[in-house]
Amino acid sequence: MAETIAKDTLLNNMQEGYNEFEALLASLSEAQMLTPEVNGPWSVKDNIAHLAAWQDYLHEQLEGLLTGKEPPSFLPGLTTEDEQNEALYQQNKNRPLAEVLAAYRASYQRVYTTVQALSEEALNAPLPWRANGNPVWLSIAGNTYGHYQEHGTIFRDWLSRAH
């Protein structure tokens, strides 16, 4: 069993990770955000749309905890993370930057608010409809601040190669 985490610590980690990622985004121009091939064909904008989609899925999972209802599966028919990420890229690649940024920020706020509504016990228990037995907070970390760190590293590596 993975370690437990205090709810306040989780919320703090989420907000700090979000703030750091927002600061990185603020340092980029619109042209930089729209330049392809940051990682594969993806632009920064495409990465942000990816983060928003995974946060939306996380929010559905957390809402399921609050309501006691298992949420629908994520991208039914796609079984690997690579397939899911490619589908998300195709769905979002033509969306305007401002729309993608707004969706990302709104999805973060929904997740943050829902985490606030969950008990510390629920955050440290496994999702009832997942077989892996990992506590909920690991999914939260992986789809918020851990995910921001991963993509922030991608952006910084790209910036160092681009200049």
Give 130-149 pLDDT, tens digit per residue: 888 899 999 999 999 999 99
pTM, full prediction: 0.95
Instruction: Label residue 134 left, alpha or beta by phi (over 0 means left) and psi (-120 to 50 means alpha).
Output: beta
pLDDT of residue 137: 97
CATH code for residues 7-162: 1.20.120.450
Q: Which has more pLDDT, 65 or 162?
A: 65
Q: What are the residue ranges spanned by the domains of the chain?
A: 7-162
Give 80-120 pLDDT, tens digit per residue: 999 999 999 999 999 999 999 999 999 999 999 999 999 99
- 93 contacts: CB under 8 Å, gap ≥ 6: 46, 49
Contact assessment for residue 134 and residue 124, using Cβ atoms and an 8 Å cutoff: no
